Amino acid sequence: MKLRALIGVGLILASTATLGCSRNTIEAINLANEADKQKDVDVDGAISKYEQAVQLDPTNHRILYKLAQAYRKKEAWDKVASTLARAAQLAPKFANYQYWRGAAIEQQAEKKTISWEEAKDPLKKCIDADPNFADCYHELGRAMLWTDNEQDALVNFTKAIEHKPDELKFYGPLADLYLSLNYTDQAAQVLKEALAYGKEGDKSLFGVHVLLSQVYQTKSQMNEMVTELEAARRVAGDEHPEILYNLGSTYAVLTPPRKTEAIQLLKGFSARACRGAGATGKYKDQCEASQSLVAKLGGTMQ
Residue 114 has pLDDT above 70, yes or no: yes
Sequence length of the chain is 302
Give the pLDDT score at 147. 97
**Contact yes or no for 95/131 (Cβ under 8 A):** no
**pTM for the complete prediction?**
0.86
Fold classified for 65-164: 1.25.40
Which segments of 237-283 does DSSP mark as H helices, in order? 242-252, 259-273, 277-280
Buried b or exposed e, range 97-135, using 16+ CB within 10 angstroms: bbbbbbbbbbbbbeeeebebeebbebbbbbbebbeebbb
The per-residue pLDDT for range 216-233, each reduced to its tens digit, is 999 999 999 999 999 999
The per-residue pLDDT for range 263-302, each reduced to its tens digit, is 999 999 999 998 876 566 788 899 999 999 999 999 888 7
Q: What is the CATH number of domain 171-240?
A: 1.25.40
Residue 254 has pLDDT above 50, yes or no: yes
Share of the chain above pLDDT 70, in %: 92
Q: Following DSSP, what letter does each residue of 43-65 receive, concatenated? A: HHHHHHHHHHHHHH-TT-HHHHH
Give the pLDDT score at 1. 39
